[in-house]
Structure 1
């Protein structure tokens, strides 16, 4: 059972890639847009799911069938669902019971360009995927939930890169990971070519040191080879999820770029054209001195060592070649009982060390787990209720270090105790709290991604607490499922109006006076997003911004919408007058701020929502 639990993050990571289109929803919309989609689902019947999509997949250059290949029907709306099937011996396929919506048919065959290959992993992590690039290169299939659609899918052969990786003495470099990155707008970005095992696991050289990467869209690419190195010398299941980090190419810091450099900015780009192969792209691994980095992680307040803190090291000298999977974004290690850590075989260069604190009170054994005899392990004893003052959580720390010609053996990294924010939620007029899930959450004003714990349930008595917070300024908010009835009417902490100003949290502070008042009179705007010729458009993101410029400074007043497969949308929030501003394909709702609004407010469509109003309005997409 323990091993099964360790597989869950792996399965979740694969699922995220398989459902990549759902990342078109922005991070902040994990609450906002989820609320709106919940409204749409609650307010409308589920989409009719009786359509049939049938067709034939052929190679674009020969018109010959793509036989016995996996095909996927990818939902282009925020639902991000997918269906999988196979072509037969004639290249034919069929999907039944398809809900109304807009889809892309993806053919998963060797050497074929897929929609996945157009997604930059950095954009996916920031949840700002540009679907327009996918729509431009792949045909959309639109169904109404009852009709039958026949399609001909043309599978386009991508370009390929091949070559040989050797050590400095000419010996073949076997089982070395080969990384390919796209050169785009002067930057080097990671991507994956497909959703099959070889693309997800990473390309490795064979027994001759040879490699080949196919299915590449036309463009410029950077190649590198990462030597297989265990920088931590640890075999702990805690550190590597049963070896999956190594399987997915976790974090080697010893990287050589084509041709013969250690920095991505100095690498030679390879031009790849559709259907063509660039061969003899050979990489000779550089021979260089390797160092050791070791030290201690301690608590700032009393300098006591912190065991089980997790450290991840990343190079600042080149583009990241780490796997996209969280458990493979190393190298990473954990401090021992004395708070010590060691990372071996690091080349000279500049690095960033990220330290994730141990969980408060964590006392688990991190030694390697042994296989049992197949019997189910007994349930652990119940944890005694805590007494006295609970332990404070620590905050994560990011620290730079430079290695230049010698080992570093005495690095000390200090972690501060996190701040605590607590308070109470009430409903105006003394009415009872909602009987549905209610969350209090904080979003960093800087846009920095925060660690887990910045969203907590509101207790039945209205109280909430978030701890382990770094210092900074935050936008507080409350989300009530399903989201179509309540909105935040007032919010303050002491003398600060949090509807107009962010919550400023000093280091290790204890802010316990946050007061939030909900109103049950939320307004709802719903309808469809339509093209100029009056046809539904799915996956359209837009913002409702208060017309009053004095409310542009704080994000709590922003509402975000996202249309579903049939173009329907539903947005709920505070009554008032709003500007409706559409987000472009590359726009990230997390980046919406006062300057962004000012540049787009002129000529924006306006709408006025009254308390508890349910207003219908179709929106024409520009």
Structure 2
């Protein structure tokens, strides 16, 4: 747990990326240890769970990639005790309201920042005394409501499903009391006097569900429909549209406000369809007759090419490199405005539309096949960043491009498109092919520490940047690296292409650290960091497979600093 004590009885899980097999689980012993054995070669996601506990997620930036693991890795998972909110729901006369659904909606995180992306409320029913208790809550600020349907409709309507939610203490959403909760703490007495006011309905139908069904097929086909509140970015309800209900959907107990509707469906062949998100306003009446048309989602296909150098001895896992490489695509919610020159280089360029509130179908991951082939499926329209999880510390990404790699494997990638810099823009239903990702042996790495003068301290949110020292290398964003320094100033960088670099430590915006984009996604930041790094003169020449430890840089750099030697 967060105090460093073993959390006996927790269960650790491993899920193979790209596999439909159930997760493998292992019970944590009295020493806090677990072992997930018998795993096939591949890439895995590892997590753990225990009742009332949640995974500790230290801030590493909104664009930080997920963590992946391979068989043989050692993993430490920290769980923290979740918060609790409890209270009663009663009528105006003080009678308990029994079996009403109570929702806890998180509006700000533990640092007081608005919750990014789409959130889902936690819910519990009241008991026969009208008491509810919602536990396992992440630290943050919540609003509590009672009434309306459960998020997960069971097919059996409840007595309060058609009611508008009543927020604590007895109000609408606009005047709801906000409840702060910290890990392991319990907020008691968050009582609600239930108003029981009728809400409105939203209904319609989903089309296109049977478009890809083969002749004579008797398989069940359906679509899930989500209702998301625009103001809070909270998904309030789910519904199903299938052959059982004529492909229609209905939501009840909806208060006045603005909402987004979207529908999606997966099919057995791995492809997916989705409807373009549609915004509607509810004001004093039901909203009916909404049509959501499913259309095919986009995909990116390509190949991973392994550039092998047998004379180098740092790239482990050579025989299983492809099976332990992962290609991902993630939608950029705030792509840069490109110049006219850069825009001409776009692949499938189109006008960028406002991203949907519901962030489903905005990322994909794929493992290469035996010949390196891969397909990233189920993507909505938008601008995507392609990222690579490498099979070990001795590998680096040489290039990412559309088309075949140059004849000389060590040559600079073709300049007809700059995928690492600009990403790939997908139109609705577009299938981009020919993406080539080249990975190479011989990556360098090093560990170091940021030092400060006696009596001074490091600023929070300090990042260490490694940028190319050669002018021709500045155009290659794959030569830019960054990491966040720990509180003691230590840092580590890996999977670095050999070459000549500058290094600099830089504090991000302390007021809004989540607004800082990765350096590979921000041209203005790259330009500024390069200028600062050239002035600091912290220079390093990395050879293939070189491993450097105990490297020191000063923050802030002194004007008389010489070029340090590792």
- Tell me the CA shift for residue 563 of structure 1: 7.0
Equivalent position of 1:571 in the other structure: 494
Equivalent of 2:280 in 380, 383, 401: 401
C-alpha RMSD of matched pairs (Å)? 5.5
- Tell me the CA shift for residue 524 of structure 1: 1.7
Equivalent of 2:202 in 272, 293, 315: 293
Equivalent position of 1:442 in the other structure: 329
Q: If each structure's helix is expressed as a fraction of its own residues, which one has the higher value?
A: 1
C-alpha deviations, 1:194-228, integer Å up to 9, x for none? Answer: xxxxxx976765544456899999x9966532226
C-alpha distance in 1, partners of 2:469/2:51? 36
C-alpha deviations, 1:292-311, integer Å up to 9, x for none? Answer: 32222223997999942212
Q: Is the 8 A contact 1:442 1:454 kept in 2?
A: yes
C-alpha distance in 2, partners of 1:438/1:280? 51
- Tell me the CA shift for residue 483 of structure 1: 3.6
Equivalent position of 1:559 in the other structure: 481
Equivalent position of 2:223 in the other structure: 309
SS of the equivalent of 1:313 reads strand
SS of the equivalent of 1:446 reads coil
The worse-fitting range, judged by mean Cα deviation, of 447-456 and 283-292 is: 447-456
Q: Is the 8 A contact 2:106 2:142 kept in 1?
A: yes
Q: Is the 8 A contact 1:489 1:517 kept in 2?
A: yes
C-alpha deviations, 1:205-262, integer Å up to 9, x for none? Answer: 5544456899999x996653222634775349xxxxxxxxx9xxxx998422235432
C-alpha distance in 2, partners of 1:510/1:189? 33
Equivalent position of 1:151 in the other structure: none
C-alpha deviations, 1:242-283, integer Å up to 9, x for none? Answer: xxxx9xxxx9984222354322x433457999xx99987643
- Tell me the CA shift for residue 456 of structure 1: 0.8
Instruction: After TM superposition, list the pairs within 5 Å mapping 1:142-181 onto structure 2.
Output: 164-168=88-92, 170-176=94-100, 177=102, 179=104
In structure 1, the gaps of 5 or more residues are 47-78, 84-105, 107-113, 118-159, 191-199, 237-245, 321-328, 362-390
Equivalent of 2:247 in 339, 359, 371: 339
C-alpha distance in 2, partners of 1:173/1:478? 52
The alpha-carbon distance between structure 1 residues 543 and 450, as it changes in their structure 2 partners (threshold 3 A), is farther
Q: Is the 8 A contact 1:537 1:563 kept in 2?
A: no
Q: Given the two structures, how large is their TM-score scaled by the length of structure 1? A: 0.56
C-alpha distance in 2, partners of 1:580/1:482? 26
SS of the equivalent of 1:310 reads strand
- Tell me the CA shift for residue 572 of structure 1: 1.7
- Tell me the CA shift for residue 412 of structure 1: 0.7
Equivalent position of 1:102 in the other structure: none
C-alpha distance in 1, partners of 2:383/2:224? 25
The size of the alignment, in residue pairs, is: 445
Matched, 1:81 2:49: no
In structure 2, the gaps of 5 or more residues are 1-20, 26-45, 215-219, 311-316, 335-354, 405-415, 556-566
C-alpha deviations, 1:395-423, integer Å up to 9, x for none? Answer: 46432222233333311112321223212
The alpha-carbon distance between structure 1 residues 502 and 554, as it changes in their structure 2 partners (threshold 3 A), is farther
Instruction: After TM superposition, list the pairs within 5 Å mapping 1:122-521 onto structure 2.
Output: 164-168=88-92, 170-176=94-100, 177=102, 179=104, 205=126, 207-209=128-130, 223-227=143-147, 229-230=149-150, 234-235=154-155, 254-263=164-173, 265-268=174-177, 282-299=191-208, 307-317=221-231, 320=234, 330-337=236-243, 338-361=246-269, 392-395=271-274, 397-428=276-307, 435-436=320-321, 437-446=324-333, 451=361, 454-489=364-399, 491-493=401-403, 495-521=416-442
C-alpha distance in 2, partners of 1:16/1:599? 47
- Tell me the CA shift for residue 428 of structure 1: 4.4
C-alpha distance in 1, partners of 2:132/2:436? 60
- Tell me the CA shift for residue 461 of structure 1: 1.3
SS of the equivalent of 1:331 reads strand
C-alpha deviations, 1:451-491, integer Å up to 9, x for none? Answer: 38621111221222222222222222333211422322352
Equivalent of 1:587 in 482, 500, 513: 513
C-alpha distance in 1, partners of 2:496/2:531? 23
The alpha-carbon distance between structure 1 residues 7 and 513, as it changes in their structure 2 partners (threshold 3 A), is closer
Q: Given the two structures, how large is their TM-score scaled by the length of structure 2? A: 0.60
The alpha-carbon distance between structure 1 residues 359 and 617, as it changes in their structure 2 partners (threshold 3 A), is farther
C-alpha distance in 2, partners of 1:167/1:439? 55
C-alpha deviations, 1:312-340, integer Å up to 9, x for none? Answer: 222235574xxxxxxxx652122212432
